[in-house]
Amino acid sequence: MRKAFISPTKYVQGENELLNLGFYVKSFGESALVIGNPGDIERVQDKLDKTAEHFGITLHLADFGGEATREEVNRLKKLAKEKGTDIIVGLGGGKAIDTSKTVANGHNLIVCPTIAATDAPTSHSAVLYTKDHHFDEYAYFIQSPSVVLMDTTVIAQAPARFLISGMGDSLATYYEARATRRSNSNVNAGLPNGYHTGDTAPAKGTIASITLARACYETVMENGYNAKIACDNNVVTPALENIIEANTLLSGLGFESGGLAAAHAIYNGLTVLDGPHNYFHGEQVAFTTFVQLILEDAPNDEVEALLDFSLSVGLPVSLADLDVAEVKYEEILKVAEKACIPEESIHAMPFEVTPESVAQAIIAADVIGRDYKKRKSVK
């Protein structure tokens, strides 16, 4: 049996860690192209200036155009070549980081998230879009980023909604890795450079990946509420540090080397509805993780633990929480059909899945979530 595990070469997090960015740039050369949203660059400009001066490096700042397109990638590749930079630095949120990954193309790359909203920073993949914001393709690279650098002080200053969304994404990691392991399905870590949507590489998950996925779940459940309070007040506490690590490192390694299943496939299906577009990735995944538990008939205590946690931090537990006021079977079936296309991860579930069974699980989860929330609010 072929197994695969992939991770960044180095992961480091700490207060004011961006001040050490120059140290990591210096290990690759003398200059870097820093790609980020103008607002994110402005937020950390002082730290960038200080680390460049202290370590004697040059940081060329490049404003990200706002969408991770092929055109933007080519523009920034050309700029990096003109500047003669030794390494790419991706600064900010998901699309800026995905663009930076594609510019680096599996070579020297430092990722510096300014929020902890998803588990994508550690991965060896990126999502590209068209100029009119439609999905274009997935890109996979030969290796993960060279360094993932998390400045907890910067992340604590961001709105707590980003952190909470990251928890929603992290909640799926263990349940999807567990399903993938039970079905002996392949994982993304086996995909080499040049593979795109629809291609497969036969690699199964490792003991390490399911262990990390389980640790991710336990860390989020234990620390999530206190981390939310810390972020609400822009302070760094041990709970916040634990959640930053869970959202980014544990979930990132867990999903990529442990596998995806129903939760993320149903998230992709939700794109046919209008309401969920108003919500972050992790907020939607929190609900679709609940749907996965209903689909697989998980024990009631497991379901209620997920619902209790979601309500405690403000994550959605129903379609109503995602601005879907009226649930029509015909529309939900379209969601399920998109979630069940042949190349989707939902087929990693350890039993046969059909659009009809998924649609019914979505409707059941919606009703259960609404009722549970109502009963908890009465108490």
d(CA 108, CA 376): 50
Overall average pLDDT of the 345-359 stretch = 98
Give me the amino acid identity at 288.
Answer: T
3 state DSSP class of 32: strand
pLDDT-based confidence at residue 365 (cuts at 50, 70, 90): very high
Judge contact between 59 and 34, C-beta under 8 A: yes
Count of domains for the chain = 2
Residue 49 counted as an annotated binding residue: no
211 located within any domain: no
Overall average pLDDT of the 318-334 stretch = 95
The chain-wide mean pLDDT, for the chain, equals 95
pLDDT-based confidence at residue 133 (cuts at 50, 70, 90): confident
Residue 124 counted as an annotated binding residue: no
Q: What is the pLDDT of residues 181-235, one digit of tens each?
A: 999 999 988 865 444 444 456 799 999 999 999 999 999 999 999 999 999 999 9
Q: What is the pLDDT of residue 195?
A: 41
Same domain, 147 and 273: no
d(CA 329, CA 359): 7
113 located within any domain: yes
**Cα 157–Cα 161–Cα 164 angle in degrees, nearest 5:** 105
* Of the listed ranges 14-28, 154-168, 208-222, 263-277, the one predicted with least confidence: 263-277
Give me the amino acid identity at 111.
Answer: V
CATH assignment of the domain containing 109: 3.40.50.1970
Same domain, 151 and 271: no
Contacts of 188 (CB under 8 A, 6+ apart): 123, 125, 140, 255, 256, 257, 259, 260
Q: What is the pLDDT of residue 196?
A: 43
336 lies in which domain range? 260-378
Q: What is the pLDDT of residues 57-85, one digit of tens each?
A: 999 999 999 999 999 999 999 999 999 99
Q: What is the pLDDT of residues 281-320, one digit of tens each?
A: 999 999 999 999 999 999 999 999 999 999 999 999 999 9
Report strand pairing: 109-113 vs 58-63.
unpaired
* Of the listed ranges 10-24, 153-167, 177-191, 327-341, the one predicted with least confidence: 177-191
CATH assignment of the domain containing 332: 1.20.1090.10
62 located within any domain: yes
Which helix (H) or strand (E) segment is 26 a member of? Answer: helix 21-26
Residue 123 counted as an annotated binding residue: yes
pLDDT-based confidence at residue 11 (cuts at 50, 70, 90): very high
116 located within any domain: yes
198 located within any domain: no
201: which DSSP letter?
Answer: -
d(CA 352, CA 349): 7
Give me the amino acid identity at 335.
Answer: V
* Of the listed ranges 3-12, 333-342, 357-366, 369-378, the one predicted with least confidence: 369-378
88 pLDDT more than 90 = yes
Q: What is the pLDDT of residue 199?
A: 46
Q: What is the pLDDT of residue 190?
A: 80
Which among 12, 16, 312 is positioned nearest to 151, based on CA atoms? 16
d(CA 102, CA 109): 10
Residue 373 counted as an annotated binding residue: no
Contacts of 208 (CB under 8 A, 6+ apart): 5, 253, 257
98 located within any domain: yes
Judge contact between 47 and 18, C-beta under 8 A: yes
Judge contact between 98 and 120, C-beta under 8 A: yes
Overall average pLDDT of the 321-344 stretch = 95
Judge contact between 251 and 170, C-beta under 8 A: yes
Q: Which residue, of 135, 155, 175, is where some domain finishes? A: 155
Which among 112, 123, 115 is positioned nearest to 255, based on CA atoms? 123
Judge contact between 106 and 88, C-beta under 8 A: no
Residue 94 counted as an annotated binding residue: yes
171 located within any domain: no
Q: Which residue, of 107, 127, 155, is where some domain finishes? A: 155
Which among 315, 365, 377 is positioned nearest to 336, based on CA atoms? 365
Whole-structure pTM value: 0.94
Q: What is the pLDDT of residues 34-55, one digit of tens each?
A: 999 999 999 999 999 999 999 9
d(CA 186, CA 119): 19
Contacts of 328 (CB under 8 A, 6+ apart): none
Give me the amino acid identity at 54.
Answer: H
3 state DSSP class of 112: strand
Q: Which residue, of 132, 155, 178, is where some domain finishes? A: 155
Overall average pLDDT of the 20-36 stretch = 97
CA torsion, ordered 283, 134, 126, 61, to nearest 10 deg = -100
Token pair of 325 as six digits: 């006021």
234 located within any domain: no
